[in-house]
Amino acid sequence: MQKHSRAVRPLSSYAAYHRDKRNIASHFIGIPLIWLAIAILLARPAWFVGGVTVSPLLPAAVLLCIYYFRLHRTLGWLMLAVMLFTYQIAAYTAMQSTGVWLTSALAMFAAGWVIQFVGHYYEQKKPAFFDDIRGLIIGPVFMMAEACFMLGRMKDLQAAIEAQVGPAVIKTRPNKAV
């Protein structure tokens, strides 16, 4: 349990807004779309320095990776892999015409948020970032943790989170009187 101690509180805080399995499922689509859209937007302007594409995305990605590694080493490595993959897609998209670059990013961003809010309809709770802006940073690593849980990994971290907020379930909406 000790190796997860730094991650339990922020992941549990975020998890409290995400206990409906349909909401969690929607976030597996919505968060990557939003994440990629922001990366694409931050990938301009770009400079090529020593064979590496440097853009505002690079310092943002480095800072996020540092945070994720401090939070949890394994999740940090997994998020670094996602970050490297995202960086390549974002850099490629940023090299396209301004219309393609901007339209693709804005369309992904909008679609991602629509999907997120559909999930929160089932959750019957507002998104976590409405109460704590850090939810925007925790969301991607929470989804990585959820993926690990689904694969039967990090059971002790899952148990620590569920001890604080309960297990994920499919919630039923209360019947309205006619």
8-state DSSP, 81: H
Is a pLDDT exceeding 50 seen at residue 17? Answer: yes
**What's the pLDDT band for 52 if we cut at 50, 70, 90?**
confident
Local confidence band at 88 (pLDDT 50, 70, 90 cut-offs)? very high
Residue 174 has pLDDT above 90, yes or no: no
Q: How far apart are CA 89 and CA 6, in angstroms?
A: 31
Q: What type of residue is 143?
A: M
Which pLDDT value is given to residue 125? 85
Mean pLDDT of 142-151: 96
Percent of the chain scored above 70 by pLDDT?
A: 94
Cβ neighbours, 10 Å, residue 91 = 21
Name beta bridge partners: 47.
Answer: 54
> How large is the C-alpha radius of gyration of the chain?
18
Rounded Cα distance between 85 and 64, Å, is: 15
Neighbours of 77 (CB within 10 A): 14
Compute the distance between CA of residue 161 and CA of residue 15 in angstroms, rounded to an integer: 8
Give the amino acid at 168: A
Q: What is the pLDDT of residue 170?
A: 82
Helices 155-165 & 135-150 angle (0-180, nearest 10): 120
Specify the pLDDT at position 171.
74
pLDDT band with cut points at 50, 70 and 90 for residue 1 = very low
- Do the Cβ atoms of 12 and 62 come closer than 8 Å? no
- Dump pLDDT digits (tens) for 93-146: 999 999 999 999 999 999 999 999 999 888 888 888 888 788 899 999 999 999
Provide the mean pLDDT of the chain: 91
Which of 21 and 51 is assigned the larger pLDDT? 21
Number of other CB atoms surrounding residue 84 within 10 Å: 11
Task: Give the C-alpha separation, 68 to 139, whole Å.
Answer: 11
Mean pLDDT of 22-41: 95
- CA 71 vs CA 8, 89, 104, 114, 141: distances in Å: 9, 26, 31, 29, 9
pLDDT at 3: 64
